[in-house]
Amino acid sequence: MIYIVTGKRNVGKTRALKELLKMRSNCDGVLSVKVFERDVFKGYGLERVNKGWQYPFMIWDRNQEIEGRQERIGDFVLLETGILKGQEIINHSISSEKDTVIDEVGQLELRGKVFYKQVKRAVDLQRGDVGWDLYLVVRIQLLKQVIEYFEVDTYELIRVEEKELTECE
C-alpha cells in the first residue's frame, strides 16, 4: 500500500509521519528534518528512519559557493553527498523489502532528479504483491502532479492540517 502524507508547508508532515512510524518496526528510508544552529534555521538534514542518523542534505544559502553542490532550488543548495546517501538508504530499504519512507517528493523529483529513480521504482513495485508499504511525503500544492507523474493508482491519503505539537518558547 502507498501512503501519501500531505499538507501545506511547515504544517508538520514529517513530525506526523514520525509519530505514525513509531508503531512500525520494519521500516527504513529518509526523513527531511530541519536543522538549526543557535536557533537559526540552516537547512535540512536527512534522518534515517528509526536510526536517528542524520546527514547534511540541503543548506539554506542565497549566494555562497558550496563544495559538492548538486542542485539549487530557490535559496537552497542540495549537497551531492546527501543526495547519494539518501539514494543509498532508500535503495537498501526497497531491496530489503522494508516499509520505505521518502520525505519529501517534490519539484526536483518531478524533473527526474534527486530521488526520482527511487520513487519511480518503489511506486512501480507497489503495483505488484509486495510485502511492504511505501510512505511518501508530498506538499499539498504538488499532490496532483506527483500522483499523475509517478502514475500512483492506489493510495491512502494522510492529511496533516495543522501542527500536531505546539512549539514552546
Q: Which residue has the higher pLDDT, 64 or 24?
A: 24
Asked which of 54-63, 110-119, 136-145 is least confident by mean pLDDT, the reply is 54-63
- Categorize the per-residue pLDDT at 165 as very low, low, confident or very high, splitting at 50, 70 and 90: very low
pLDDT for the residue numbered 147: 98
Q: What is the DSSP code (8-state) at residue 141?
A: G
CATH number 3.40.1710.10 given to 2-159: no
pLDDT at 163: 58
What pLDDT score does 24 carry? Answer: 87
pLDDT at 1: 96
Look at residue 166 and tell me whether its pLDDT is greater than 50: no
> What digits encode the pLDDT tens for the residues 11-37?
999 999 999 999 888 999 999 999 998
Assigned C-alpha cell, 110: 518531478
Write down the pLDDT at residue 113: 95
Please give the model's pTM, rounded to 2 decimal places.
0.90
At residue 168, the pLDDT reads 36
Domain locations in the chain as residue ranges: 2-159
Average pLDDT of span 89-115: 97
Q: Name 30's Cβ contacts closer than 8 Å, sequence gap at least 6.
A: 46, 47, 48, 49, 86, 89, 90, 101, 102, 103
Mean pLDDT of the 75-86 span: 91
Residue 158: Cβ-neighbour burial (10 angstroms; 0-12, 13-18, 19+) = middle
Predicted local distance difference test score (pLDDT) of residue 167: 38
In this prediction, residue 65 carries a pLDDT of 60
In this predicted structure, the answer to whether residue 82 has a pLDDT above a threshold of 90 is: yes
